[in-house]
Structure 1
Amino acid sequence: MIVVDLIISLFVIVLLQFAGMYIFSLMTPYRDMEEINNGNVAVGITMGGKFVATAIILGIAAYTNSSIWHMSLWFAVGYACLIASYWVFDWLTPGMKLSDQLKGGNVAVGTLLAAVYIGIAISVSSLII
């Protein structure tokens, strides 16, 4: 029975991770994977930050909850905060539009945004615990 629970939990975790990445990809006016295939390092760094940040929130949600339902719920709460951080950060930097900078290959913006995602994920995860 433990093996079945472990397999189900692992399946749900992978599903939530990729669902989270898909939702993130809908937020940008460009196609993330297409930009990465074209060698856009800024988008690659940002996407890596998104993946790590999503994994941090998902990992803490899985670690601190004994049911898949509660894990999914806390992941959704943490993930909503992560998405909100993009829009707030974009709003707080009125001199530049993040999506335009990333599409243009601005590595500095990509690196900063990846760090923002990871920092927000760590902060939000402390609230989930």
Structure 2
Amino acid sequence: MIVLDIFISVVVILVLQLLGMVIFSWMTPFNDMDELRKGNTAVGLAMGGKFLSTAIVLGVAAYTNSSIWHMMLWFGVGYVCLVAVYWVFEWATPGLKVAEHLQKGNVAVGILLSFVYIGMSFAISSLIV
């Protein structure tokens, strides 16, 4: 029974991580995968930050909840906060169109956005404990 529980948990975690990345990709006006194929480092950095931040929130939700349903609920709450981070960052930097700079390959913006996501994921995770 324990093996089945672990298997189900891993499958749910993988699905949530992939779903999180798909939703993040919908937020950009360009195709993230096309930009990666072109070798756009800025987009790669931003996507890496999104992936890691999603994994941090998911990992903390999994670690702090014994029920898969509660884990999914708290991941959802944390993930909505991460999505809000992008829009707040856009709002807080009105002279900087993040998506445009990423698509142009601005590595500085990619690094900054990556660290904004990662930093916020730690802050958000402390709330869902």
What TM-score bracket applies, with the shorter chain setting the length? over 0.9
- TM-score, length basis structure 1: 0.99
CA shift, 1:27, in A, is 0.2
Q: CA RMSD in A?
A: 0.4
Percent same amino acid among aligned pairs?
64
Counterpart residue number, 1:104: 104
CA shift, 1:96, in A, is 1.3
CA shift, 1:103, in A, is 0.4
Q: Secondary structure at the match of 1:42?
A: helix
* Distance in 2 of aligned mates of 1:110 and 1:90: 13
CA shift, 1:50, in A, is 0.3
Counterpart residue number, 2:51: 51
Counterpart residue number, 2:91: 91
> What do the CA deviations read for 1:5-50 (whole angstroms, capped 9, x no partner)?
0000000000000000000000000011110100100000000000
Counterpart residue number, 1:12: 12
* Distance in 1 of aligned mates of 2:119 and 2:86: 12
Structure 2 counterparts to residues 1-129 of structure 1, below 5 A = 1-129=1-129
4+ residue runs over 6 A deviation:
none
CA shift, 1:115, in A, is 0.1
Q: Which runs of 5+ in 2 are unaligned?
A: none
CA shift, 1:78, in A, is 0.3
**Matching residue's letter, 2:78:** G
* Distance in 2 of aligned mates of 1:107 and 1:61: 31
